[in-house]
Amino acid sequence: MTTKGSMSSDNVDDLRERMRLLQHDRRANIDLLETNKVSNENEIRRLKEENEKLRIKMSDLQKRVELDHESNQFDLKSMKKLVLQKRSEYDAQKASRNKSDVILKKLKDEAKACRLEEEKPTRADGLHPKQIDAK
Protein backbone atom coordinates (compact mmCIF):
# COMPACT_ATOMS: atom_id res chain seq x y z
CA MET A 1 0.00 0.00 0.00
CA THR A 2 2.83 2.21 0.44
CA THR A 3 3.30 2.44 -3.26
CA LYS A 4 -0.31 3.18 -3.72
CA GLY A 5 -0.25 5.58 -0.81
CA SER A 6 2.84 7.33 -2.08
CA MET A 7 1.32 7.62 -5.51
CA SER A 8 -1.78 9.11 -4.03
CA SER A 9 0.30 11.43 -2.00
CA ASP A 10 2.27 12.43 -5.11
CA ASN A 11 -0.98 12.97 -7.00
CA VAL A 12 -2.41 15.00 -4.15
CA ASP A 13 0.75 17.11 -3.98
CA ASP A 14 0.68 17.53 -7.73
CA LEU A 15 -3.00 18.54 -7.62
CA ARG A 16 -2.33 20.96 -4.76
CA GLU A 17 0.51 22.54 -6.73
CA ARG A 18 -1.73 22.86 -9.77
CA MET A 19 -4.51 24.40 -7.66
CA ARG A 20 -2.04 26.81 -6.11
CA LEU A 21 -0.79 27.82 -9.58
CA LEU A 22 -4.37 28.17 -10.87
CA GLN A 23 -5.32 30.33 -7.86
CA HIS A 24 -2.21 32.43 -8.44
CA ASP A 25 -3.17 32.82 -12.15
CA ARG A 26 -6.73 33.63 -11.13
CA ARG A 27 -5.57 36.33 -8.71
CA ALA A 28 -3.24 37.73 -11.37
CA ASN A 29 -6.12 37.82 -13.86
CA ILE A 30 -8.40 39.48 -11.30
CA ASP A 31 -5.69 42.08 -10.55
CA LEU A 32 -5.19 42.67 -14.28
CA LEU A 33 -8.97 43.01 -14.81
CA GLU A 34 -9.23 45.43 -11.86
CA THR A 35 -6.38 47.49 -13.29
CA ASN A 36 -8.03 47.51 -16.72
CA LYS A 37 -11.34 48.44 -15.12
CA VAL A 38 -9.79 51.42 -13.31
CA SER A 39 -7.93 52.44 -16.44
CA ASN A 40 -11.13 52.22 -18.51
CA GLU A 41 -13.08 54.22 -15.90
CA ASN A 42 -10.41 56.92 -16.00
CA GLU A 43 -10.49 56.96 -19.80
CA ILE A 44 -14.31 57.16 -19.78
CA ARG A 45 -14.19 60.06 -17.29
CA ARG A 46 -11.57 61.85 -19.40
CA LEU A 47 -13.62 61.34 -22.58
CA LYS A 48 -16.78 62.61 -20.85
CA GLU A 49 -14.95 65.76 -19.72
CA GLU A 50 -13.49 66.27 -23.20
CA ASN A 51 -16.93 65.68 -24.73
CA GLU A 52 -18.48 68.24 -22.38
CA LYS A 53 -15.81 70.82 -23.25
CA LEU A 54 -16.32 70.18 -26.96
CA ARG A 55 -20.10 70.50 -26.61
CA ILE A 56 -19.69 73.82 -24.80
CA LYS A 57 -17.27 75.03 -27.47
CA MET A 58 -19.64 73.91 -30.23
CA SER A 59 -22.55 75.67 -28.51
CA ASP A 60 -20.51 78.88 -28.24
CA LEU A 61 -19.58 78.65 -31.91
CA GLN A 62 -23.20 78.10 -32.91
CA LYS A 63 -24.28 81.11 -30.86
CA ARG A 64 -21.54 83.20 -32.46
CA VAL A 65 -22.58 82.03 -35.93
CA GLU A 66 -26.21 82.93 -35.16
CA LEU A 67 -25.15 86.38 -33.93
CA ASP A 68 -22.96 86.87 -36.99
CA HIS A 69 -25.81 85.75 -39.21
CA GLU A 70 -28.24 88.12 -37.48
CA SER A 71 -25.70 90.92 -37.72
CA ASN A 72 -25.11 90.17 -41.39
CA GLN A 73 -28.87 90.06 -41.98
CA PHE A 74 -29.21 93.43 -40.23
CA ASP A 75 -26.34 94.83 -42.33
CA LEU A 76 -27.93 93.40 -45.46
CA LYS A 77 -31.33 94.89 -44.60
CA SER A 78 -29.72 98.25 -43.83
CA MET A 79 -27.83 98.15 -47.11
CA LYS A 80 -30.98 97.27 -49.06
CA LYS A 81 -32.82 100.12 -47.35
CA LEU A 82 -30.00 102.53 -48.20
CA VAL A 83 -29.91 101.32 -51.81
CA LEU A 84 -33.68 101.84 -52.12
CA GLN A 85 -33.37 105.29 -50.59
CA LYS A 86 -30.56 106.24 -52.98
CA ARG A 87 -32.54 104.79 -55.89
CA SER A 88 -35.52 106.92 -54.89
CA GLU A 89 -33.30 110.01 -54.66
CA TYR A 90 -31.81 109.18 -58.06
CA ASP A 91 -35.27 108.78 -59.60
CA ALA A 92 -36.40 112.10 -58.09
CA GLN A 93 -33.29 113.88 -59.42
CA LYS A 94 -33.77 112.29 -62.84
CA ALA A 95 -37.41 113.44 -62.96
CA SER A 96 -36.36 116.94 -61.91
CA ARG A 97 -33.66 116.99 -64.59
CA ASN A 98 -36.15 115.86 -67.22
CA LYS A 99 -38.50 118.70 -66.22
CA SER A 100 -35.58 121.14 -66.34
CA ASP A 101 -34.60 119.83 -69.79
CA VAL A 102 -38.17 120.43 -71.05
CA ILE A 103 -38.17 123.98 -69.61
CA LEU A 104 -34.71 124.64 -71.05
CA LYS A 105 -35.83 123.42 -74.47
CA LYS A 106 -38.87 125.73 -74.32
CA LEU A 107 -36.69 128.66 -73.30
CA LYS A 108 -34.21 127.92 -76.09
CA ASP A 109 -37.09 127.75 -78.58
CA GLU A 110 -38.45 131.07 -77.30
CA ALA A 111 -34.98 132.63 -77.48
CA LYS A 112 -34.56 131.34 -81.02
CA ALA A 113 -37.98 132.72 -81.96
CA CYS A 114 -37.03 136.10 -80.47
CA ARG A 115 -33.75 136.15 -82.40
CA LEU A 116 -35.56 135.25 -85.62
CA GLU A 117 -38.12 137.96 -84.91
CA GLU A 118 -35.34 140.52 -84.44
CA GLU A 119 -33.61 139.47 -87.63
CA LYS A 120 -36.71 139.84 -89.82
CA PRO A 121 -36.28 142.41 -92.58
CA THR A 122 -37.40 145.84 -91.62
CA ARG A 123 -40.27 147.72 -93.27
CA ALA A 124 -39.77 150.25 -95.95
CA ASP A 125 -39.58 153.04 -93.44
CA GLY A 126 -36.60 151.28 -91.79
CA LEU A 127 -38.22 150.66 -88.45
CA HIS A 128 -38.39 147.37 -86.73
CA PRO A 129 -41.85 145.98 -86.14
CA LYS A 130 -41.39 146.17 -82.39
CA GLN A 131 -40.42 149.78 -82.63
CA ILE A 132 -43.59 150.53 -84.53
CA ASP A 133 -45.69 148.82 -81.96
CA ALA A 134 -44.04 150.88 -79.27
CA LYS A 135 -45.00 154.20 -80.96
Boundaries of domain holding 50: 2-90
Query: Any residues with CB less than 8 A from the CB of 75 and at least 6 apart, and which?
Result: none
32 belongs to a structural domain? yes
Model confidence pLDDT, tens digit, residues 36-61: 999 999 999 999 999 999 999 999 99
39 belongs to a structural domain? yes
- For the residues of 36-75, what is the DSSP string, one character each? HHHHHHHHHHHHHHHHHHHHHHHHHHHHHHHHHHHHHHHH
DSSP state of 120: S
122 belongs to a structural domain? no
Counting the structural domains of the chain, the total is: 1
CA distance 116 to 94: 32
Look at residue 134 and tell me whether its pLDDT is greater than 50.
Answer: no
Look at residue 135 and tell me whether its pLDDT is greater than 50.
Answer: no
Look at residue 116 and tell me whether its pLDDT is greater than 70.
Answer: yes
119 belongs to a structural domain? no
Model confidence pLDDT, tens digit, residues 72-98: 888 888 889 999 999 999 999 999 999
CA distance 110 to 55: 81
